[in-house]
A and B are shown apart, each in its own frame.
Chain A
Amino acid sequence: MALLADGCLERNAWICGDYVSSRSDEIMAALREHVSLTVSAVGYGTLIAVPLVLAARRRPVLAAWISGATSALYTVPSLAFFAILLPFTGLSRTSVLIGLIAYTLVILFRGFHTGLGSVPPEVRAAAVGMGYGPTRLLVTVELPLALPSVMAALRVATVSTIALTTVGATIGHGGLGDLIYDGLGSTFKAEVLTASVLCVLLAVTADLLFVAAQWLLTPWRHGTRGSPGARRTPGPPGAPGG
């Protein structure tokens, strides 16, 4: 530490222990905001996507409409999205959150819908034949079988939300992005690099948590093929990223 701390702030070094230790409160606050925005965005996105998927499964026409509408939302650039909301919700966390939720919708809706759609019809027929009602069928048969696709969608949505949140810095609520934006103004290298690295680490950590959760939730898939934690292709290759 003593070696790292020899005036790296004065030299404006990229890697600087002094920066991390002297500004740790600020860094932790930014990290907390980043996590909270991401969790809220993916959480609300899921809450909205689930009823949409259930509705779309009842009426296939709706599926095309919802898919089109969420894709259209996705074409609005993040910076522009946050800016468009300004007149209505101001320079607030809400503006950033609404934008982030809108982006998760297209990924979550497609992932959930594809997952439930891929349940083999004979499996569904067998459960119905055994007297399963629609809710029990969904919860005990369809959802577990759709889990890989559902988890893949959640992973992609979470990782891209973590990256997108940084742009929220333009309206003052970007979590770690705020540090990056601040560092841009003052050309403070350590601040920008530290925040960027933390962003990527956060995304990787979130991704690994999902892999672990999926492994725990799908015990019947263990050891059939490849290593237990083998990474699957994240969703359909056409699914948008961040």
Chain B
Amino acid sequence: MSMLIETASWLADGRNWSGHEGIPARLGEHLVLSGASVGIAAALALPLGTALGHAGRGGTLAINISNVGRAVPTFAVLVLLAIGPFGIGDTTTIAALTLFALAPLVTNSYVGVREIDGDAREAARGMGMSGWQILRGVELPLAAPMIIIGLRLAAVQVVGTATIAALIGGGGLGRFVVDGLARHDDPQIVGGAVLVAALALAVDGVLLGAQRLLAPRGGPTGRSPVGT
């Protein structure tokens, strides 16, 4: 019980909410690290995943990327990059988190495009649409719900994992946890952990909203009508 009270008072303490090491500043760093990583990963993975899905090839590749991605500990990648080529800094964190985010993005965009009803694709081809037009007009809109789910998954996991940036001296909300561990300051550790969890839940909520907006009638594998 006292732990809860001490954590609450740490969170309520005005001194923790100001300055460049305060909660708002760390929150900002956390969002920048996560946003940059998911952004770069999406820019690489979404074209790759949708192209593989459109071509109907490389399925094994897309699924294996996901399996391998799960097997590689992000913590190990972070440390390898930190003592290796990139050194300690934000670049290292963003590179490690980008690698981490690639798997769900590639897999979901591939599966999203691949699982579209073959009839829809056939109909579009029968109407004389080119491959590019089918991709833009039929496949992408139908795959959108699945792609958004992948984006949501990647974003939530990256926000959570970005905590370990602090282990190599980076910023973000993980700082509170790591500094707290070093100083045996339990309220700060738990306070930091609560903040990260809350942020992850908030990001999940916002993206869930986006998902519902984009796929009002589609289920998880979204069969919403094609927009005109």
CA distance A238 to B72 in the complex (A): 19
Q: Mark A49-82, 1 if CB is under 8 A from B, else 0.
A: 0000000000000000000000010011111110
**Interface stretch (choices A40-48, A122-130, A141-149, A162-170):** A162-170
| Cβ-defined partner of A183 (8 Å) among B72, B79, B197, B201 | B79
Question: For residue A165, which residue of chain B has the nearest CB?
Answer: B73
Does A138 lie at the interface of the complex (its beta carbon under 8 Å from any beta carbon of B)?
Answer: no
Does B204 lie at the interface of the complex (its beta carbon under 8 Å from any beta carbon of A)?
Answer: yes
Contacts of B153 in A (CB 8 A): 238, 240-241
Does A225 lie at the interface of the complex (its beta carbon under 8 Å from any beta carbon of B)?
Answer: no
Task: Please judge, given known A-B contacts A76-B200, A77-B196, whether A166 and B150 are in contact too, CB under 8 Å.
Answer: no
CA distance A164 to B84 in the complex (A): 22
Contacts of A162 in B (CB 8 A): 71, 73
Question: For residue B103, which residue of chain A has the nearest CB?
Answer: A241
**Interface stretch (choices B21-29, B36-44, B126-134, B184-192):** B184-192
Q: Mark A162-191, 1 if CB is under 8 A from B, else 0.
A: 111111011100000100110110010100
Does A83 lie at the interface of the complex (its beta carbon under 8 Å from any beta carbon of B)?
Answer: yes
Q: Contact check, A163 vs B72: say whether CB atoms are below 8 A apart.
A: yes
CA distance A72 to B67 in the complex (A): 23
Contacts of A166 in B (CB 8 A): 73, 75-76
CA distance A207 to B69 in the complex (A): 13
Does B60 lie at the interface of the complex (its beta carbon under 8 Å from any beta carbon of A)?
Answer: yes
Does A204 lie at the interface of the complex (its beta carbon under 8 Å from any beta carbon of B)?
Answer: yes
Q: Contact check, A164 vs B164: say whether CB atoms are below 8 A apart.
A: no
For residue A144, give the distance in angstroms from its CB to the closest CB of chain B. Answer: 24
Contacts of A199 in B (CB 8 A): 71-73, 76
CA distance A214 to B71 in the complex (A): 19
Question: For residue B164, which residue of chain A has the nearest CB?
Answer: A79
Task: Please judge, given known A-B contacts A77-B197, A81-B193, A240-B153, whether A189 and B73 are in contact too, CB under 8 Å.
Answer: no
Does B141 lie at the interface of the complex (its beta carbon under 8 Å from any beta carbon of A)?
Answer: no
CA distance A166 to B80 in the complex (A): 13
Contacts of A184 in B (CB 8 A): 79, 82-83, 167-168
Question: For residue A76, which residue of chain B has the nearest CB?
Answer: B197
Does A135 lie at the interface of the complex (its beta carbon under 8 Å from any beta carbon of B)?
Answer: no
| Cβ-defined partner of B83 (8 Å) among A86, A189, A241 | A189
Q: Contact check, B160 vs A76: say whether CB atoms are below 8 A apart.
A: yes
Task: Please judge, given known A-B contacts A80-B177, A81-B193, A184-B167, whether A167 and B75 are in contact too, CB under 8 Å.
Answer: yes
CA distance A78 to B186 in the complex (A): 17
**Interface stretch (choices A3-11, A19-27, A229-237):** A229-237
Q: Contact check, B76 vs A170: say whether CB atoms are below 8 A apart.
A: no
Question: For residue B184, which residue of chain A has the nearest CB?
Answer: A86
Q: Contact check, A207 vs B76: say whether CB atoms are below 8 A apart.
A: no
Contacts of A195 in B (CB 8 A): 76
Q: Contact check, A183 vs B164: say whether CB atoms are below 8 A apart.
A: no
Within 8 A of B (CB), among A188-203: 189, 192-193, 195-196, 199-200, 203
Q: Contact check, A192 vs B67: say whether CB atoms are below 8 A apart.
A: no
CA distance A81 to B193 in the complex (A): 7
User: What are the 3 A-B residue pairs with the smallest beta carbon separation, nearest first?
Assistant: A80-B193, A77-B160, A203-B71
**Would you give 21 A-B contacts (Cβ < 8 Å), ordered by A?**
A75-B160, A79-B193, A80-B163, A80-B177, A80-B194, A83-B180, A83-B189, A83-B190, A87-B3, A87-B190, A159-B71, A163-B71, A163-B74, A180-B79, A192-B76, A195-B76, A196-B76, A231-B60, A236-B220, A237-B146, A242-B73
